[in-house]
Amino acid sequence: MKPTERILVIDDDSAYGATVKESLELDDYEVQVRDSADKLKEDLETFRPHAIVLDFDLKDGPNGLSVLHRIRESDAYIPVVLMSGALGLEAGEARTDLAINGIDFILQKGDNPKALPAVLEREIAKQRQVIAALDEWVQYSPDADAPLLVTEDGSEYSLRQALEEMKKATSKGRALLNHYRQGLTQILASQKP
């Protein structure tokens, strides 16, 4: 039996949110539905979702892309599936501008209801593969226990400690790995010929 993954659904259409929740619960997901992103930070820290289903056309407050940017600021790795009734896309068709903004997958509202659980399963599996690859790298890295990351409050963490936090799906672990990824990206960019 697969472990219960937690899915956060942000959709201002309460009837649609309830339908998504019911569908995902039939596939053994634990689901929390919000009609806005007002409690996003709290949800990321306390509910600790494995993936987020986000409505593109949120009516009150920031739109889906603004919410996505807030998600990516605190967690670059969590899978985000964008749902919309107004994108004019065929099922699974990509829009480059949305992919660049950090959307993992786009589904049109009204697509086959079985599509969402399948997409979530695949996206969560991809995230697990990343963690497994990092885990293997940490296992053989001589520097895995060296203080590698220094947070804004001055705390030092090794890559191994950050990875352990991410495995627990804590916001601290995700923030540490985001910090590490940003630093690594800057190092690699500075080494380009």
Domains of the chain: 6-122 (3.40.50.2300), 141-190 (no CATH)
pLDDT band at residue 2, thresholds of 50, 70 and 90?
A: low
Write down the pTM of the prediction.
0.72
d(CA 140, CA 159): 12
Predicted local distance difference test score (pLDDT) of residue 38:
92
Tell me what pLDDT residue 1 has.
46
Residue 100 scores a pLDDT above 70: no
Is the model's pLDDT at 11 over the cut of 80?
yes
* pLDDT tens, position by position, 123-144: 888 878 877 777 787 787 777 7
Range of weakest confidence among 55-59, 117-121, 140-144, 185-189: 185-189
Burial 137-163 (b: 16+ CB within 10 A, else e): ebeeeeebeeebbeeeeeeebbbbbbb
- Model pLDDT for residues 139-177, shown as the tens digit of each residue: 877 777 877 666 677 777 777 777 777 666 666 666 666
pLDDT score for 91: 47
Cβ(176)–Cβ(157) below 8 Å: yes
> Per residue in 24-68, pLDDT tens?
999 999 999 999 999 999 998 889 899 999 998 888 778 888 898
Q: What is the mean pLDDT of the chain?
A: 77
Which residues, 6 or more positions from 50, have their beta carbon under 8 angstroms from its beta carbon?
5, 6, 7, 78, 79, 124, 127, 169
